[in-house]
Amino acid sequence: MKDVSKLILEDGAVQNRSIYWDQDIYEQELEHIFARAWLFLAHESQLPNTGDFLTTRMGEDNVIVARQADGSIKAFINSCPHRGNVVCHADSGNAKAFTCAYHGWAFGLGGELVTVPLEHDAYYNAIERPRYAMHPVAKVESYKGLVFGTFDAGAPSLRDYLGDMAWYMDTFLDVPGGIELLGPPMKSILNCNWKVPTENFIADGYHVGWAHAAALKAIESPLSPLVGNQAYDVNTGLQVTTRGGHGFGVIWDAAAAIHPVGEAYAQWLAQRTPIMRERLGDWRAKFYNGHWDASIFPNCSFLYGTNTWKLWQPMGPHHIEVWTWTLVEKDMPDELKQMMVATNMMTFGTAGMLETDDGENMEQCTGSNRGWVTRRGKLFSGMGQVREGHHPELPGIVAKGIVCETSNRGFYRRWAQFMSGKSWDELAREPGNAADKREVA
Ligand code: FES
Ligand code: FE
């Protein structure tokens, strides 16, 4: 095992560049992070009926996720236990069974082996079917409709894994009627390491007025004054690392701001806010009206407000497949949902203006580390380190303003803990840091 203890330094604020490039570090990520952490699989609304299924990936393992006859959801590796063929080639659909194209073994909705051609004549009925079930994902759980899976049977519950991030996410998950993810997801390839977009979404309020200057001007959204960092009040909003490697930043009263025709959404928010205040209290009613950039450790990100939901699927250290859905409230009128989809496509879809701004930077941030000398250097995310701390009413480590890197450091502290192979017990006792002693107003 590679010694990873020196790759993340200064409380998460300094990263060794090799973590964006080296194949052996990537292999360790697959083992220590992607084979252990809870990974986003689907939203329950994508699998409403018995037999509904979709295929996705956990790390680089292909999996089938299927709705069972008893209403539960199971997931298993999409590779035939006979000779390893890929069993299901569809992105999604409804099935009674999954049949392998090579020799015809067929598997039930739970991955159990149900049919073996020539079972009597060739196997003399001696095949032990349970032994040849498709490899199950150890645990599949849902948090308010969001379905995650882990390969580690010893992992804590999904609710415990999400920790305080769940408290914050209730802001939009606890809406009457719940949420749905509109797809099928747009898919595209980016030549970047999977951590670069995760850290961008979790913490990077700094790039918005700069990297997206032209796009913000073109969209003519209420955020246009941020262009070139003009009119940027760095103290507006908050950034929070919730522990567990998750985190987000929020700009107050900006949920609808990126939508060029945002009035209908603004009206929707105004009408729902008293209900959310009643349900969740003043703070989360305020978060309900904010625009969030967020990541759930390790590779799921979202922008609440713009309402893009992202999965950064790793494909080696230098490539990812980006999957993009539109997050909407189920009770929204259809026209409003369609407007959300259109804005998402225009901004963070495959050809979206802001997606291409980010993509170019993310690819360069990865590719520059190809240089052997470059790769031995360090990168820095120390912004706001001296002003983060405890908030009297909000969980996690909180910093004032979204232009800081508090959540970035929280992500890398967690990454380092996972990579050094700590047990779940040790992970649960996340060590404190200087921020624990500081109060933030
Ligand atoms: Fe699937 Fe043989 S590889 S049935
Ligand atoms: Fe961006």
User: How far apart are the C-alpha atoms of 278 and 167, rounded to whole Å?
Assistant: 16
User: For position 30, what pLDDT does the model report?
Assistant: 98
Long-range contacts, 261-267 (Cβ 8 Å, 24+): 261/339, 262/221, 262/222, 264/335, 264/336, 264/339, 265/336, 265/339, 265/340
How many Å lie between the centroid of ligand 1 and the Cα of residue 106? 9
**pLDDT tens-digit profile of 228-269?**
776 667 678 999 999 899 999 999 998 988 887 788 999 999
Q: Is the CB of 99 under 6 A from ligand 1?
A: no
* Residue 357 among the catalytic residues: no
User: For position 436, what pLDDT does the model report?
Assistant: 72
Q: Is the CB of 276 under 6 A from ligand 1?
A: no
Fold classification of 39-142 (topology level): Rieske Iron-sulfur Protein (2.102.10)
Looking at the domain covering 4-24+163-437, what would its CATH class be?
alpha beta
Domain ranges of the chain: 4-24+163-437, 39-142
How many Å lie between the centroid of ligand 2 and the Cα of residue 375? 24
The catalytic residue among 212, 246, 259, 318 is 212
What burial letters (b/e) apply to 1-11, b meaning 16+ CB within 10 Å?
eeebeebbeeb
Q: Is the CB of 83 under 6 A from ligand 1?
A: yes
- The verdict on whether omega for the bond into residue 298 sits within 30 degrees of 0, i.e. cis, is yes
Residue 376 has a CB neighbour count (10 Å cut-off) of 11
Amino acid at 74: K
Q: 125: left (phi > 0), else alpha (psi -120 to 50), else beta?
A: left
Q: Give alpha helix (H) positions in 72-231.
A: 119-123, 158-162, 164-173, 195-203, 208-211, 213-219
Q: Which residue's alpha carbon is at the smallest distance from atom 3 of ligand 1? A: 83
pTM score above 0.95: yes
Q: Which residue's alpha carbon is at the smallest distance from atom 2 of ligand 1? A: 103
* Residue 246 among the catalytic residues: no
* Residue 212 among the catalytic residues: yes
User: For position 430, what pLDDT does the model report?
Assistant: 75
Q: Is the CB of 135 under 6 A from ligand 1?
A: no
Task: Give the residues of the chain that fall short of pLDDT 70.
Answer: 1, 225, 230-232, 234, 431, 441
User: For position 1, what pLDDT does the model report?
Assistant: 66
Q: Is the CB of 115 under 6 A from ligand 1?
A: no
Q: Is 308 helix (H, G, I), strand (E, B) or coil?
A: strand
Place of tokens 């080639």: 89
